Amino acid sequence: MWFFRFRKITPISAILGPAATAPVKPGAAPTFAGALVGSSVIVSGTVSARTEVTFGPSGDKAIWYSATYESQGRGDRGSRNLWMFDHLDRQQGGFFIDDGTGRIYVPVQPTQMDIRGGHHVYGEIGRTGKERYSTYLLRDGDSLRLHGVVDKPSGKEPRDTLVLRAAEGGVLFGLATPRRS
C-alpha cells in the first residue's frame, strides 16, 4: 500500500469546489457544479457514523470491521494441531469522513473496502479453546485516510454531500489510526 507515499491528499473543500463555501438556502438542494466527480482522490479526516454495526463475539460497536475466524485442527498429513482459517466476516455501516473543510459520505459496501489498522480486538470463541477470532474495527472518531473515486449520491444516500466509491471493479483502500482515549 505504497500509493499514499506518492499521492497528494485532496482537501474535501477542493473536491466539492465552490459548493463547499457557497451558502445554501434552507431546503434547497446543494449544487456540485465545481465538484471533481469521477476523479480518483485520497481524503483524510475523522470518521463519523451514519449507521453502526455490532461485532458479534465481543459486542463492540463499530462503523466497519473485518474479522478472521480460525479453528484448531490436524494438518493435511495428520501432524500436530494447527490454527486453520475458517472464514472472513466484514460488515460496515455508512459513514462520513470530515477533514475540517467539508465532509464526504462512504456508502455501505463492506466487500469493496480494504482498511489497514484501527482497533485490534481478538479472543477465543467457546470454552474449548479450539476456536478464535481476530478483528480490526473502525470506530466513531478514528482518523482515516481513504483512496477512492468521487461520485454523486444515488438511492438512499445523503443528498447534501458527495460520495466516495471504489473504482469500477476495484476496492477502497484505507489506513486507519485509532482515536486516543
Model confidence over 18-35: pLDDT tens digits?
544 444 445 444 444 445
Q: Which string of DSSP letters, residue by residue, matches 16-39?
A: HGGGGTS---TTPPP--TT--TT-
Q: pTM of the entire structure?
A: 0.74
Domain range annotation of the chain? 8-18+34-73+80-176
Would strands 119-124 and 131-138 be described as parallel, antiparallel, or unpaired?
antiparallel
In the chain, which residues have pLDDT < 70? 1-35, 181
Checking DSSP bridges between strand 40-49 and strand 95-98, what pairing results, if any?
A: antiparallel
The pLDDT of residue 35: 58
How many Å apart are CA 62 and CA 118, to the nearest integer?
11
Query: What pLDDT does 30 receive?
Result: 47
Q: Which residues contact 179 (CB under 8 A, 6 or more apart)?
A: 139, 141, 142, 143
Residue 160 backbone zone (phi > 0: left; psi -120 to 50: alpha; other: beta): alpha
Which amino acid, residue 165? Answer: R
In this prediction, residue 31 carries a pLDDT of: 45
